[in-house]
Amino acid sequence: LAVTKLFGLRGIQHTPLGVRNARIAQHYKASLTATFNIFPAARYAIILEEDLDVSPDFFSYFSQTLRLLEEDPSIYCVSAWNDQGYEHTSTDPALLYRVETMPGLGWILKRSLYKDELEPKWPTPEKMWDWDMWMRLGEVRRGRECIVPDISRTYHFGSSGLNMNSYFQDTYFKKHSFNTLPYVELRDLDSLKKEAYEELITEMLRRGTVLDHSQSPCEETFVPDTTGHTYLLFIQMNHHKDYTTWLQVAKCLRIWDLDGRGYHHGMWRLNIKSNPLLIVGVPFSQYSKFKPTDLKPLYMEAPEKEKDKTKANEKNIIHR
């Protein structure tokens, strides 16, 4: 509050409610409510945490994508963050994706979504929900998706907090990609609309080359040294919560491997060695029909110690 006064800005201080994750969730609710109430003409709000750096084209990125929120009701939010966008898995600053999970970490929220849907249902102080995990729930998201960039427009530098430490920062955030170009003209924005995006993904799957499924994705040569060539990987995924193989593949690819996120209808989209890579979960994904009939989906089982760790994490999430 003292810093806001120093810069001549308006500061709002509210009484904390709840503890730990619930306290953070209540802080978000109070902040969002205050923002939209103080600025009744504002149709959108950009949410940023204090441990994020922003790219030179941060506002340009949002100004270009804003119309998608108006023109496509199937879009939930626009985020500056790509959960799977690491230095070795993202290469194109003009490229955007649709994902089912709400990434946070620098995102734009529509007033009508907050006031009409989120605010009335927001978790109460006694519920130990992470606010972002709550926003990802199927009954809250209601089939809508978020737009994310191939290369992130925010960079997470915070290494201390309720859910953060220096090891976690170094392992999962330090090598995240970050755009440094001052202006990027985003490409094919209309292709992000629901029906057009399905046509785009379908075409990529039709022309893509199936990778050698007998080779481990942990091998450096798993994705060939080409450029602009679309590759396909089909992995076992029996239902929408079956991430057993995906988490092992993610570990091989050195990306986020703690839970399933950043997917679109059971399909993950990456850029490796400047090649689009589509990873399809079979039989769950609607894109399973593109798997060659004689191809067995890749299955990778977690080591025993990781299984125990996963069970503990699941219990923790259920507790929350």
Cα 274 to Cα 76: distance, rounded to the nearest angstrom: 28
Tokens of 17: 């409610």
Q: What is the per-residue burial (b if ≥16 Cβ within 10 Å, else e) of 229-242?
A: ebbbbbbbbeeeee
Do 231 and 211 form a contact (C-beta atoms < 8 A)? yes
CA distance linking residue 312 with residue 294, whole number of Å: 37
Taking the C-alpha atoms of residue 45 and residue 121, their distance in angstroms, rounded to an integer, is: 19
Tally Cβ neighbours within 10 Å of residue 119.
13
Mapped onto helix, strand or coil, the DSSP state of residue 59 is helix
Which secondary-structure segment (H or E) carries 110?
Answer: strand 107-110
Query: How many Cβ atoms sit within 10 Å of the Cβ of residue 293?
Result: 4
> Which 3-state string (H, E, C) describes 60-101?
HHHHHHHHHHHHCCCEEEEECCCCCCECCCCCCCCCEEEECC
Helix (H, G, I), strand (E, B) or coil at 21: helix
Over the Cα atoms of the chain, what is R_g?
Answer: 20
Whether the Cβ atoms of residue 34 and residue 53 lie closer than 8 Å to each other: no
What three-state secondary structure class fits 245?
A: helix
**Catalytic residue at 72?**
no
Q: List, in sequence order, every residue forming a beta bridge with 232; answer none if it has no partner.
A: 210, 278
Characterize the bridge pairing of strands 107-110 and 275-283.
unpaired
- Kindly state the DSSP code that residue 114 receives in the 8-state scheme: I
Catalytic residue selected from 57, 116, 130, 132 = 132
* Residues noted as catalytic: 132
